[in-house]
Amino acid sequence: MANRKYVKHALSEWMEDEGAEADVVISSRVRIARNLRGMPFPMMATPAHASTVMEQLLGVAENGRLNGLGKLEQIRLSELTELEKLVMVEKHLISPNLANESRSGALILSYNEDVSIMINEEDHLRIQCLSPGFQIRETWDRATKIDDIFEEQVDYAFDEKHGYLTSCPTNVGTGIRVSVMMHLPALVMTGQINRILTAVTQVGLAVRGLYGEGSEATGNLFQVSNQITLGQSEQEIIENLHQVAKQMIEHEKAARSKLFADNRPRVEDRIRRSYGVLSQAIIMDSKEAAQRLSDLRLGVHLGLMPELNDRTINELLVATQPGFLQMTFGEAMNPEDRDRSRAQYIRTRLATNS
């Protein structure tokens, strides 16, 4: 791997900044799916087809068309170890699907890791842009400019009736997925979350966990994204999600205010107990770690944890994942080993903030 910083540092540089509504929204993401005309979708492609696609798309970066994104790294998945691929999945730099494609998968990655262009994933091209906080519109502007650059250089598979053609029918049309990662502890603690999520799904949005489809919403982290890609324009998709997310932010803030006003001793006790467990525990599984880190994040934004900040908690969320723990400690680990190492890492990291 040409530059190992992507697997050595838990916190991507783009996460060090604070975006709008950072107390509720951790990040905004836009992902655009595209395929090349006349080439089989990746699941049906021969090695020769996949190799041709990879070289053609990597060539767009090599010819300088993407220079406006700053320093870029081209990474072929065949160059990575299984552990390195797992770490990059944990950092959301590649998808689990791309991690399994070592034959002809590739990645064009910006230096601060806010742009990740995946090649030969489920589709030939997946353009992903990430931003801190609530920045859906800004993130879309960046993603669509990158899409335009590729479209000038390669011929996309496009149908006048159905729009952009994709491997999965649910992406046909605009081919875009827009999402926000939200921290909603007060809605969970006050029992309002199910009502809110039901309302969200009724307006055509999907709610998933930290790692997308099929993942559990641990640590009170919810990924809210569009489900519809056909029949709506890109702008309609962006604005719909923006408006719904804005309402969810308002509901969460109102729930926090009421919770703190009505039950301050219990809320403060819960947050302090979580800090005590995290700073002293010998064994810590990933689910408990996520929940207790969620309590600490809430404490930061209620003004109860001045010694901590979002940056530290974001780092811990990534650094305590299975792949990153094994990378940090330099050894393969079974689940029990990871639980001990996770507790050790958290204890050490919190001690540096005291």
Chain segment 134-174, per-residue pLDDT in tens = 999 999 999 999 999 999 999 999 998 899 999 988 889 99
Chain segment 169-189, per-residue pLDDT in tens = 888 999 999 999 999 999 999
Q: How far apart are CA 88 and CA 94, in angstroms?
A: 6
Which pair of tokens denotes residue 183? 């921290």
Place of tokens 């029992």: 191
Q: Is 191 annotated as a binding residue?
A: no
Q: Is 211 annotated as a binding residue?
A: yes
Whether the CB-CB separation of 30 and 177 falls below 8 Å is answered with: yes
Question: Confidence band (pLDDT; 50, 70, 90) for 103?
Answer: confident
User: What predicted TM-score, i.e. pTM, was given to this entire model?
Assistant: 0.92
**CATH code that applies to domain 5-173:** 3.30.590.10
Q: Is 78 annotated as a binding residue?
A: no
The ranges assigned to domains in the chain are 5-173, 264-351
Q: Is 178 annotated as a binding residue?
A: yes
Chain segment 226-259, per-residue pLDDT in tens = 988 888 899 999 999 999 999 999 999 999 999 9
Q: Is 214 annotated as a binding residue?
A: no
Q: Is 88 annotated as a binding residue?
A: no
Q: Which amino acid is at 247?
A: Q
Strands (E), 39-156: 72-76, 106-110, 115-119, 125-132
Q: How far apart are CA 293 and CA 23, in angstroms?
A: 14
Q: Is 209 annotated as a binding residue?
A: yes
Q: Is 76 annotated as a binding residue?
A: no
Q: How far apart are CA 286 and CA 30, in angstroms?
A: 27
Q: Is 181 annotated as a binding residue?
A: yes
